[in-house]
Amino acid sequence: MHSCEPVGYFASGLVLAAFGMKDMVKLRVVAIGSNLVFIAYALGLGLAPIWLLHAVLLPLNIWRLFQAFGIEPWAALQSRLPRRLGSAQRRSEILAAAQGAS
């Protein structure tokens, strides 16, 4: 038995538990935990397909957890980012200001 094997069994148990859950918030929390444990397990054994899979699933589960709380992650991010100078609305504001100044 390899020293990482118990970690793999624990991660598998978390996946099994997630499949049995009805509450979406609890499911996502357990799925995030399983992603983290599987990443650690796969990195320890050099299993690139496993850690790559869970590295992709981790942000997806985090995204869905936000949605389960009623938070739309993309809208929340956009509201905190400054408007891009290249946006059509911003360009029209710059043009209007320039025309008013001349």
Residue ranges making up the domain that contains 60: 5-101
| Amino acid 90: pLDDT | 65
| Amino acid 3: pLDDT | 87
| Amino acid 71: pLDDT | 87
Whether pTM > 0.75 for this model: the answer is no
Q: What is the per-residue DSSP string for 31-56?
A: HHHHHHHHHHHHHHHT-HHHHHHHHH
Closest CA to 55 of 67, 65, 43: 43
The count of domains in the chain is: 1
Per-residue confidence of the chain (102 residues) as pLDDT tens digits? 788 899 999 999 999 999 999 999 999 999 999 999 999 999 999 999 999 999 999 999 999 999 999 988 887 776 666 665 556 666 667 677 777 765
Q: How far apart are CA 55 and CA 51, in angstroms?
A: 6
